[in-house]
Amino acid sequence: MKHVKQDRKRTRPLSWWIYLSGKLLVGVIFLLAALFPLAWMVIAGFKSKTEVVKTPFQFFPEVWRWENYAQILGDPTFTWTMTWTFFGALLFTALALSVNSLAAYAFARLNFRFKRAIWVLVITTLFIPGMTILLTSFIVVTRLEMLDSLAVLVVPGAASAGMIFFIRQFYLSIPSSLEEAAMLDGCGRLRIFIHLFLPLSKPPFVVMGITAFLAYWNSYVWPILTITSPNMYVVQQYLATFRSERNTELGLLMAGSTLAAAPVIILFLIFQRQIIGNIKMAGLK
């Protein structure tokens, strides 16, 4: 029996080492699989016109062409498109957080007629694919004469049932005693929302703000339908036009795609702690 116990004690560290090594190997494989397309896009931006689609596949270029990035950055149309898209994304994010947080507060804290029925209608929109209402949405903005304007890119998608639901769940977790104390001090609903709920809303606002920013930054189908003026193109629309008009300059296209992805990556790196913390918090709830 003593020999059996000793053998078990010896095999436990070995089995744990094998288990941890296996998990580490799987993690490394998934990490490489996730980073490979991004790394290839960045490096392809240094390639010549023909090297990007060269066969057999060659990961690194024979000659590193730094001028691709310099040329695309020197293109005033590209820099204007990036600036215009970034401004629109910030405006869309601010509007989306404002509208949806107010709606979330109303559904979480206020009592009004047909509240449950309206809430059911709001949640039901989560199950409607965006493509199914694309044509009707286009007809609406056309009749409102919103085509070729910043409003058509920002206003239609600002209200989101998913964002309302996410923020509402957070507001429901705030103790009602804080709200009651504010009411005793003479605060109205609007002051309570601005001075009490908004300062506490950083966790859901970070996650939903990044979601809204990405949704605008990566939008393609809706801008293609509603924007025809080149000076109002968003970045994905510009890259698609570049691809069709200058389809032989793939090195420049990859350089432009890398620069277009840079703000999103930087945004994630800045707020990664808050995002991970909110995910952990949601898991504990």
Instruction: Please report, rounded to a whole number, the percentage of residues in the chain having pLDDT higher than 90.
Output: 28
Q: Which domains does the chain possess?
A: 75-245 (1.10.3720.10)
Q: Are 212 and 93 in contact (CB under 8 A)?
A: yes
Residue 5 has pLDDT above 60, yes or no: no
The sign of the torsion formed by the CA atoms of 223, 225, 226, 230 equals positive
Per-residue pLDDT of 60-119, as tens digits, reads: 888 888 888 888 888 899 999 999 999 999 999 999 999 999 999 999 988 888 889 999
The mean pLDDT of 256-265, rounded to a whole number, is 88
Instruction: Note the pLDDT of residue 192.
Output: 87
Q: How far apart are CA 274 and CA 204, in angstroms?
A: 9
Q: How far apart are CA 59 and CA 52, in angstroms?
A: 9
Taking CA 63 as the corner, what is the angle to CA 59 and CA 68, rounded to the nearest 5 degrees? 90
pTM for the full predicted model = 0.84
Q: Which of the four pLDDT bands, split at 50, 70 and 90, describes residue 2? A: very low
- Identify the CA nearest to 153 among candidates 85, 104, 205: 85
Q: How far apart are CA 80 and CA 87, in angstroms?
A: 10
Instruction: Note the pLDDT of residue 83.
Output: 93
Over the chain, what is the mean pLDDT?
A: 84
DSSP string, the chain: -HHHHHHHHHHHHHHHHHHHHHHHHHHHHHHHHHHHHHHHHHHHTTS-TTTTT-SS--SS-SS--THHHHHHHT-HHHHHHHHHHHHHHHHHHHHHHHHHHHHHHHHHH---TTHHHHHHHHHHGGGS-GGGGHHHHHHHHHHTT-TTSHHHHHSTTS--HHHHHHHHHHHHTS-HHHHHHHHHTT--HHHHIIIIITTT-HHHHHHHHHHHHHHHHT--HHHHHH---GGG--HHHHHHHHHHHSTT-HHHHHHHHHHHHHHHHHHHHHHHHHHHHHHHHHHH-
Per-residue pLDDT of 134-153, as tens digits, reads: 889 999 999 998 989 999 99
